Structure 1
């Protein structure tokens, strides 16, 4: 049986990627300067509590940067000029704020078919993420401070070798560049 595809992982994990309730209050009141502190919004119930049955994973932007590099996202996406050019850059400075992580996951979902195709072409396999990993990557791509520390030195050699070598010019339109 096939493993769950990235697209399915995005939808399943996105249900756990919105900061609400006590987790948000703690981060917000502590003056957290990362991109995760502004994730309040339409995901909250009227009382400010999370819907029954849902949980919130912690979001670690620094771990997200490591995953962004090691999982191979950086082969297609650049952050601060570091990474590939086959897909849109994911600079935190250009991300909407406050950001609804469900919107980010929905955008990934819309591009899932092209992303999986390019992952297989450029990485030789599809990227597999669990909900905690996706939460961390979403935190990283929305955190200016974490991204300011990201450099080519963070990219594993096997991944670094793939940047700029994966696809043909003809495949440029295969990935949503907006």
Structure 2
């Protein structure tokens, strides 16, 4: 069937029967996104690290996670250099699932709500997390003003709390 050395994503792509148009929502508008369909009727989204970079900042992932020193420190850094060289995107999603309870709690605490991601958005973020050249483009300028203000406010609260803990009466 497939060579033993073939990775799972490569095996899935080898089973692809061709691109099938599927509607995916991004931002305020919608556009047609091409996806690969397997004979089993499963769709594999085309992943975009560039869209993933924008989503990583705009969805609020950057509040807790950092990439190349840009972002929060409450969750693991997601530098491409720390990622497996070859990774099944479903394994990445499974890792997120294992930490879902803690992530949702932090999202609600830090952002006031749980982050909602479509399958396409998750695919794009996974592509970004694994693309060192796209990560090199990430800067503080990518962070929406509302999220940057929230991060700055939280940083001030952390410093204030640390100062209070050091005082004794």
State how many pairs are aligned. Answer: 130
Quick one: which of 151, 158, 172 aligns to 2:139?
Answer: 151
**1:47: how far off?**
9.5
**1:98: how far off?**
0.8
Q: Which residue of 1 aligns with 2:100?
A: 112
Provide, for residues 120-142 of structure 1, a one-character-per-residue CA deviation record: whole Å limited to 9, x for no partner: 00000110000000000000000
Counterpart CA distance in 1 for 2:9 and 2:129 is 20
**1:48: how far off?**
2.6
Give the secondary structure class of the aligned counterpart of 1:162.
helix
> Which structure 1 residue ranges, 4+ long, deviate > 4 Å from structure 2?
43-47, 166-169
Q: Which residue of 1 aligns with 2:7?
A: 41
Give yes or no for contact 1:45–1:51 (8 Å, CA) kept in 2: no
Between 1 and 2, higher relative CO (CA 8 Å, sep ≥ 6) is seen in 1
**1:115: how far off?**
0.3
Q: Which residue of 2 aligns with 1:90?
A: 78
Cα separation, partners in 2 of 1:142 and 1:45, compared to 1, 3 Å: closer
Map of 1:1-178 to 2, 5 A cutoff? Answer: 41-43=7-9, 45=11, 48-49=14-15, 50-163=38-151, 165=154
Q: Which residue of 2 aligns with 1:14?
A: none
Across the aligned residues of Structure 1 and Structure 2, the Cα RMSD in angstroms comes to 2.2
Give the structure with the higher percent strand: 2
* Unaligned ranges ≥5, structure 1: 1-39, 170-178
Structure 2-normalised TM-score? 0.71
Counterpart CA distance in 1 for 2:13 and 2:7 is 12
